[in-house]
Amino acid sequence: MHPALNIMVKAARRASQIINRASQDVEHLKVTAKRQSDFVTEVDKAAEAAIIEVLREAYPDYGILAEESGSADGVGSGSEYQWIIDPLDGTTNFIHGFPQYAVSIALAHKGQLNQAVIYDTLRNEMFTASKGGGAYLNERRIRVSKCLKLESALLGTGFPFRVFDHIDPYLATFKEFTQRSSGVRRAGSAALDLAYVACGRLDGFWEFGLMPWDAAAGCLLITEAGGLVGDLAGGDTHLKTGNIIAGTPRIFSQILQVIDNHRTPALTA
């Protein structure tokens, strides 16, 4: 295992201890709304602080982009490396006791994803990936599914919940995918949805308006598992625009065709 990935696993497990303890007493958590339908708890903040402490102890000069604390340089600043951290992806699920949330940590080098960890703290499932080294679930190599046709595919998605500017084209795509696939699932954690594409539990995924920390680790997992990830035009701006398509190579192209039928001029790639 790459040394940085080893540290990321350690950080994810440290955060999971905080998350799992708090899950036993969710009703007493202090919850704050950052914006409509977008919540943060003291658990998110404590888990993020624990992750950053572990990462900075090992790599003090690396930059950080984290959901709760934003962007920060390392001790030496100007680093080519940046951690991308979501301490608790699926906070709304966590608040309601809905068992679908995870820790997500990625490492980028010169803007390119290099290492990834997604940890499902409830199921003790550790998804890891290194650029050029493959993707793994609990140290077992994983691959995307062999699904070839959209009609046979099980798809994951996330409904727009922060900004509703593109709700109409999204609902149009949802309608068509519902009619043309074998099923659509919206579980509430984009990180786990992407990890599930990587290990073959889902055959494809699409969502509009994600943040980099929601998707960075999952995107590397999928490409290292033999899948494809892109923006709404099939390009590589997905982490910038937040509009993401992912899937097996064949399903990716079919998702792309459906979404292209419903894209509006205001909906960028």
Is 197 in contact with 188 (CB distance < 8 Å)?
no
Q: pTM of the prediction?
A: 0.92
| Helical segments of the chain, H only | 3-23, 42-58, 91-96, 167-180, 190-198, 212-224, 238-241, 249-262
pLDDT at 246: 98
Give the model's pLDDT for residue 267: 67
The reply to whether domains 3-141 and 150-262 share a CATH topology is no
What is the structure's pLDDT at 166?
Answer: 73
So where are the chain's domains?
3-141, 150-262
Sheet holding 154-158, edge to edge: 183-185, 154-158, 204-207, 244-247, 228-230
And the tokens for 108? 């980028």
Per-position pLDDT tens, the chain of length 269: 789 999 999 999 999 999 999 888 777 676 666 555 455 678 889 999 999 999 999 999 999 999 887 877 766 667 899 999 999 999 999 989 999 999 999 999 999 999 999 999 999 999 999 999 999 999 999 999 999 999 999 999 998 766 567 788 889 999 999 999 999 999 999 999 999 999 999 999 999 999 999 999 999 999 999 999 999 999 999 999 999 999 999 999 999 999 998 877 666 66
pLDDT reported for residue 11: 98
- Look up the CATH number of domain 150-262: 3.40.190.80
Could you give the CA distance from residue 58 to residue 64 in angstroms, rounded to a whole number? 13
Secondary structure of 160-198 in HEC code, one letter for each residue = CCCCCCCHHHHHHHHHHHHHHCCEEECCCCHHHHHHHHH
CATH class, 3-141 region: alpha beta
